[in-house]
Amino acid sequence: MMKSTLLYLLAASLGLFVLASTASAHHSVGASFDTSKPIVLKGVMEQAVWANPHAHLLIGVKNSNGISETWAIELGPPNALIRGGFDGRRLKQGDEIAVTGFGQKQGVTFNEPQLSGREAPELAALLKVVADRAKANRLVHATEITLPDGRKLTSGELWK
């Protein structure tokens, strides 16, 4: 009886430790993105990066000089998006979309993706592109996406 109680307490403690360390590693939207200044981007779909903990869309947006710059659009977890009816991998290269969201706060840095080495080389390269967009201050936390067919996905569908 004493042994099973001790094992139960040990398992519960380990579970709490894992939950606490996972929660502290995740960033807060308000801490990383400027929620007081929503921005709207209209661009052309380049690629979907469908990996945990967040899916991303890479879109080409023309700057004031007419030159296309790649922006990374941060979404929710891939499985939650699919359960909500959205699979960004169905967007085709060249599809025009509009994104409303929050840009990065000035001075906020994002960590390089922690890769295990088991990722496909293509995925590792795409995750590096997302990290590079964050370094270039071209990362947006999406609150709404207008798809090519005019459908709008809102925060509830993007962040379940």
Helix, coil or strand: residue 11: helix
Distance of CA 159 to the CA centre of its chain: 10
Residues 6+ away with beta carbon under 8 Å from 152? 144, 145, 146
Query: Range of 64's domain?
Result: 28-158
Closest CA relative to residue 35, chosen from 98, 80, 102, 96: 102
Closest CA relative to residue 46, chosen from 73, 65, 64: 73
Distance of CA 58 to the CA centre of its chain: 11
Structural domain contains residue 46: yes
What is the structure's pLDDT at 17? 38
What does the angle CA 135 – CA 78 – CA 17 come to, to the nearest 5 degrees? 80
What is the structure's pLDDT at 5? 54
What is the structure's pLDDT at 23? 41
Token pair 């890479």 in the structure block, residue? 58
Structural domain contains residue 3: no
CATH (domain of 116): 2.40.50
Structural domain contains residue 6: no
The answer to whether 82 touches 48, Cβ cutoff 8 Å, is no
Number of domains within the chain: 1
Structural domain contains residue 112: yes
What is the structure's pLDDT at 7? 45
Distance of CA 76 to the CA centre of its chain: 6
The answer to whether 81 touches 75, Cβ cutoff 8 Å, is yes
What is the structure's pLDDT at 8? 47
Distance of CA 142 to the CA centre of its chain: 8
Structural domain contains residue 13: no
pLDDT per residue as tens, the chain (160 positions)? 556 555 444 444 444 333 333 343 445 676 778 899 899 999 999 998 888 888 889 999 999 999 999 999 988 888 888 888 888 878 899 999 999 999 888 766 665 556 666 666 777 777 788 888 877 778 899 999 998 999 888 866 666 5
Backbone dihedral region of 66: left (phi > 0), alpha (psi from -120 to 50 degrees) or beta? left
Structural domain contains residue 134: yes
Structural domain contains residue 145: yes
Structural domain contains residue 11: no
